[in-house]
Amino acid sequence: MKRADQTEIRMRIVIDEPVEGVAHSLQSKDGGPLDPQCSKAGEPLAFDLAIRVGPGPKFFGDQVRREGPERRFVYVRIGQMAGDPGSPWTRRMKIDIHDIGQDMLDRAAQGGVIETRVCGTGRDGTPACATVKPTARRVV
């Protein structure tokens, strides 16, 4: 698909209730950490990124990863993977984007930002990892 057939859309991933002092980052195009952040006092962390959407919809972008013919997602790296060699954790969160509805994509294409919120702490009190389901998704 030609890039001219794709629309750039802004996204924001907000990690609510992250484990205090644990580094989180987006995963860069080359697989390394991008924009590492640590929460102080459990305050939310926010990561902004751009994706491109083509007909289908099909999702593209430096932070967009793929699994199979349809699944598209963004990785949030945690602990050592986010660039903190002293962290006891080496994890990633997988946040699906292929399930964003066309109505939301259309509204974001008009200048909005798709905000996806996830919980950053797992049931066991450690940083959430693996596939993390959004607690909320909206256009802001």
pLDDT tens digits, one per residue of 49-59: 999 999 999 99
pLDDT tens digit sequence for 110-139: 999 999 999 999 999 999 999 999 999 999
- The overall pTM is greater than 0.85: yes
Residue ranges with strand state E in 57-131: 58-60, 64-67, 71-79, 90-96, 113-119, 130-131
- DSSP letters along 14-46, please? EEESPPTT-EEEEEPTTSSEEEEEE-STT--EE
- Hey, what amino acid is at 20? E
Q: How far is CA 84 from CA 25, 30, 131, in A?
A: 10, 18, 22
Query: Cβ neighbours of residue 105 under 8 Å, at least 6 residues apart?
Result: 9, 53, 57, 114
- CA 80-81-85 angle, to 5 degrees, is 25
pLDDT tens digit sequence for 73-115: 999 999 999 999 999 999 999 999 999 999 999 999 999 999 9
Q: Is the peptide bond before 57 cis (omega within 30 degrees of 0)?
A: yes
What is the spatial distance between Cα 46 and Cα 116, in angstroms, rounded to a whole number?
10
